[in-house]
Structure 1
């Protein structure tokens, strides 16, 4: 239930925080699952990544800044590739897209999923071979489809009858027969925010399984001499922890797959179960390891295929958030601290940082929760209920809605927010004409910029007057 913020001002201390947020025994402690593998607080109280202190990073690169533990990201890519051995793992570039990150994903054995010409351009600039790319999107333009077909990308995921017609027409004109997958709306209600649930009936993606559209669309692709039906695709949403939704989706998808196998001349090869696997943002989140997810999904596909009397297809998945999200934290500097006294003797600290909704829109967009810590020192002060807010002229400019920070948090402190690798930089904006932060990658104790900080000159360059 959503309550207007003014409503939170009427109640005792406990009523101001969510039930899952307990008062910490040690306000300096870092919960390991929320942070990249190589992040730790050293004996002097300073948070470090790969031996580099946040103070040194802030001095060299400024704040705010996204800080990537590249070794952690690579390790996560390897873990998913190993867990899904024999399947194809596509890194979803929409979560975070840069040449360095896409290149690292491919070097660790993954393919890449893109959904716009811009993401495709970055992948090509990173030196990724087109056959390792999948192309998504519900409204791919004729120009985007032409480029994808000319490049011979590994597969194009068709999302509408219009796209199927366009692909066939362009393929005929170019004399190229592209591999096409059909995106199926399996009718699964994923337990996630309504804006990131994507397999129920009333939304823009894919062909409905229930009304026969998915079957019809696959049949049209298979019947065309200008396309090759490579398989079926489904994506039920994002930030999902319960694999039962994936299992229901897989079961329904396999049944359609088996029916089509009996009726088409050329056998399909691939079954893509999409992405959306959850990652931990706060102490309430406890995702399954990839090896357990792989076992659950593999078992249901094998069972359904055996029941249908067909061989198991080659599986594909498309994780993004769970790979890049935990590998990044955002480093801010505190600008102001404002204690706000509330009724019943309760109070809350409003901690303003030098970023905000321009570098992380998710709390405003999805009511997403994050954690935070004072990173430049440890503190002996008691924990105080705090709200970390940005510098933008919006009441909804909240970075961390509920967190316990030391009561002596002060201007000049460095604040780190973990789990900001996915959909933060990629959804970043220049709201209030604030330049977007850089992305700094740390690997082997060395730091380098992989996406430069925007400047006011960059903003003015586009303003042609």
Structure 2
């Protein structure tokens, strides 16, 4: 039934997360409500950190890909656990800096960074800007010359690997809006231009082959391809880089049956490939970065709703309406994402009722799950949707002028608000 160890059932038959009764959380904070387990988040961060110690003798770091879920508190938590931070916009950068993150430990990605964002990154002293295209490279060179600084950069490379995932979240193949392609020589020519720049210092390479990947083989292949290119730069251009970022995309559990590979297994297999390739080329093992985002926060989060109208269409389906929907979780409407749903106040009862979970937005496609098995619902029950810690709050909107729900962090049976829920006043704050 459960996708993570942070979930349990108490003596009342209620779902708990990190020792907190979800029904009581719904009563205290209202619904819709995002809930995150700090215990689970810290545990996953420590597993990644431990893997770097074991497989790279500490010569590497995980970056938290903050696009998965970004707020000041999550930035504080992951950096306290020794992770660097990956940002992809000026807003994410601002959030990280506002949380007190040292800019030297921030890596700035993105395929179309604006001049304003680049200026902000340079002025803030961001440790590494990952360059996506030649126009961006020359903008950074120009801005750096004007400011009299030398800016450290990496270059995003498309290694040409199809990770066998959803086409909307596949980013390593040549037909992608991200980065420089290896197959056609584009990447090598771009590296030559970067090396020739006077106010830019190329220090590393970056790749990312996709998201929600359950197979270790694509990650191993990506490491081999990237190290071959890393060595080519060294041998043909005489340029020694210092780090290699192998991206993220590790699969997580949305359903109990999802065959998620333990993170340590990814780390072990990729590490073997890295060390073997470096030995073959006679080069020092670079400092290794990876970019987990979803795998750090997804299973640590759930969303709570109150069941409203229940509408049965004979011989068709039963709609179970909730006080949320696509405005705070658009992922099913976008790409039919699977989720585990259950009635939080009836967890011990059989999940034998087939329901389509419908949101409150004025859209026929506003659904959270279709034909999913839950406990028999009644008006007023609390519905929990598991594994909503990633890309739910991040992708939420005010569609239909709905307000974004609050986010509550739980730890050891205690709860606290880390993002306030919006009010109607917030909705009109910027109206003129």
TM-score (norm. length: structure 2) = 0.96
* Separation (CA, whole Å) in 1 of partners of 2:8 and 2:353: 22
**Partner of residue 317 from structure 2, selected from 334, 348, 352:** 348
* Separation (CA, whole Å) in 2 of partners of 1:78 and 1:247: 22
1:338 aligns with 2:311: yes
**Partner of residue 284 from structure 1, selected from 218, 237, 257:** 257
1:56 aligns with 2:24: yes
Residue matched to 2:276: 303
Question: How many Å apart are 1:284 and its aligned residue?
Answer: 3.0
Query: Residues 172-226 of structure 1, C-alpha deviation per residue, up to 9 Å, x if partnerless?
Result: 1112111110100111111111110011111210001001111111111112121
SS of 1:376's equivalent in the other structure is: helix
Question: How many Å apart are 1:131 and its aligned residue?
Answer: 0.3
Question: How many Å apart are 1:51 and its aligned residue?
Answer: 3.1
* Separation (CA, whole Å) in 2 of partners of 1:262 and 1:379: 63
Question: How many Å apart are 1:55 and its aligned residue?
Answer: 2.2
User: Cα gap change, 1:163/1:382 in structure 2, threshold over 3 Å: closer, same or farther?
Assistant: closer
CA contact (8 A) 1:84 1:291 kept: no
* Separation (CA, whole Å) in 2 of partners of 1:304 and 1:50: 42
- Which runs of 5 or more structure 1 residues have no equivalent in the other structure? 1-29
Residue matched to 2:36: 68
User: Cα gap change, 1:71/1:382 in structure 2, threshold over 3 Å: closer, same or farther?
Assistant: closer
* Separation (CA, whole Å) in 1 of partners of 2:348 and 2:21: 17
* Separation (CA, whole Å) in 1 of partners of 2:429 and 2:306: 27
TM-score (norm. length: structure 1) = 0.89
* Separation (CA, whole Å) in 2 of partners of 1:308 and 1:107: 36
CA contact (8 A) 1:44 1:378 kept: no
CA contact (8 A) 2:250 2:263 kept: no
**Partner of residue 436 from structure 1, selected from 394, 401, 404:** 404
**Partner of residue 454 from structure 1, selected from 401, 419, 422:** 422
SS of 1:427's equivalent in the other structure is: coil
Residue matched to 1:175: 148
Query: Residues 444-465 of structure 1, C-alpha deviation per residue, up to 9 Å, x if partnerless?
Result: 322111011011111022222x
* Separation (CA, whole Å) in 2 of partners of 1:278 and 1:402: 24
SS of 2:68's equivalent in the other structure is: coil
CA contact (8 A) 1:357 1:364 kept: yes
Question: How many Å apart are 1:382 and its aligned residue?
Answer: 6.6
Residue matched to 2:89: 116
User: Cα gap change, 1:269/1:65 in structure 2, threshold over 3 Å: closer, same or farther?
Assistant: same
SS of 2:304's equivalent in the other structure is: strand
Question: How many Å apart are 1:306 and its aligned residue?
Answer: 2.1
1:146 aligns with 2:114: no
Residue matched to 2:218: 245
| Structure 1 outlier segments of 4+, above 4 Å | 378-382
CA contact (8 A) 1:94 1:426 kept: yes
User: Cα gap change, 1:305/1:50 in structure 2, threshold over 3 Å: closer, same or farther?
Assistant: closer
CA contact (8 A) 2:152 2:200 kept: yes
* Separation (CA, whole Å) in 1 of partners of 2:17 and 2:97: 30
* Separation (CA, whole Å) in 2 of partners of 1:323 and 1:381: 30
Residue matched to 2:333: 364
Question: How many Å apart are 1:295 and its aligned residue?
Answer: 0.6
Residue matched to 2:207: 234
CA contact (8 A) 2:18 2:39 kept: no
CA contact (8 A) 1:359 1:424 kept: yes
**Partner of residue 89 from structure 1, selected from 51, 59, 62:** 62
Q: How much is the aligned-residue C-alpha RMSD, in angstroms?
A: 1.4
**Aligned residue-pair number:** 427
SS of 2:280's equivalent in the other structure is: helix
* Separation (CA, whole Å) in 1 of partners of 2:333 and 2:157: 30
Residue matched to 1:191: 164
Query: Residues 242-264 of structure 1, C-alpha deviation per residue, up to 9 Å, x if partnerless?
Result: 11111121111111100101233
* Separation (CA, whole Å) in 2 of partners of 1:44 and 1:253: 53
Residue matched to 2:11: 43
Query: Residues 43-88 of structure 1, C-alpha deviation per residue, up to 9 Å, x if partnerless?
Result: 2111122332222211211100000111111111111111123211
User: Cα gap change, 1:382/1:224 in structure 2, threshold over 3 Å: closer, same or farther?
Assistant: closer
User: Cα gap change, 1:228/1:381 in structure 2, threshold over 3 Å: closer, same or farther?
Assistant: closer
User: Cα gap change, 1:252/1:58 in structure 2, threshold over 3 Å: closer, same or farther?
Assistant: same
Question: How many Å apart are 1:381 and its aligned residue?
Answer: 5.8
